């Protein structure tokens, strides 16, 4: 099974897609875990976590579809450039909204043990609403998981920017090849 022959640009595009999918699936797993724990503690998941999960699920589908089309030499690179740019904007929004309150949180200063659900249940009863940064500050583990989501979101910003540049370069190369084929 041999893929398209686009040289270093094609290899870069393939590596970017693979890294994007790994990062996105990691984020999906961690955010789904947070939502599950929040629901089990009778708390509504905050919109920023649900939004993060939604954006990453859509991005995984996009990455899978575009890579399949790329592998079969059917991907319109100019449209892929636009899609990558739109996802770049989406992950920038995710990174900023998730990271803003987390940037002040010192995970090393938090307790290692404890029951996160009990803590959140107590906070929820006393404050009536639990924000995700309260959830992230419950234990070291949850703090590091939220910071991992934030870090992977920042990494995705770089990856989608790079894959967007690769896509536009692949489009130019493909366009030049078609022109060369027509001229003989």
Tell me how far apart the alpha carbons of residues 134 and 123 are, in angstroms, rounded to a whole number.
Answer: 8
Smallest CA-to-CA distance from 42 within 115, 125, 114 is with 125
pTM of the model: 0.84
pLDDT digits (tens, 9 = 90+) for 97-149: 988 887 777 878 776 665 555 455 554 554 455 566 666 666 788 888 889 99
CB atoms within 10 A of CB 43: 21
Residue ranges covered by each domain of the chain? 8-177
pLDDT digits (tens, 9 = 90+) for 60-70: 999 999 999 99
pLDDT of 49 strictly over 50 = yes
CB atoms within 10 A of CB 40: 12
Q: Output the pLDDT for position 165.
A: 97
Helix axes 7-40, 47-71, angle to 10 degrees: 150
């Amino acid at each position: 099974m041999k893929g398209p022959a686009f040289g270093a640009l094609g290899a870069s595009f393939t590596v970017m897609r693979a890294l994007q999918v790994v990062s996105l699936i990691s984020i999906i797993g961690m955010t789904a875990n947070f939502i599950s724990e929040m629901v089990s503690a009778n708390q509504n998941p905050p919109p920023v976590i649900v939004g993060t999960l939604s954006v990453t699920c859509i991005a995984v589908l996009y990455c899978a579809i575009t890579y399949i089309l790329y592998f079969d030499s059917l991907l319109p690179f100019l449209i892929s450039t636009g899609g990558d740019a739109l996802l770049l904007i989406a992950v920038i929004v995710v990174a900023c909204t998730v990271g803003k309150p987390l940037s002040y949180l010192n995970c090393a200063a938090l307790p290692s043990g404890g029951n996160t659900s009990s803590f959140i249940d107590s906070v929820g009863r006393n404050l009536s609403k639990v924000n995700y940064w309260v959830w992230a500050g419950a234990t070291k583990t949850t703090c590091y998981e939220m910071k991992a989501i934030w870090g992977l979101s920042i990494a995705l910003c770089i990856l989608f920017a790079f894959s967007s540049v690769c896509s536009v370069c692949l489009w130019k190369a493909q366009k030049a090849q078609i022109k060369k084929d027509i001229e003989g």
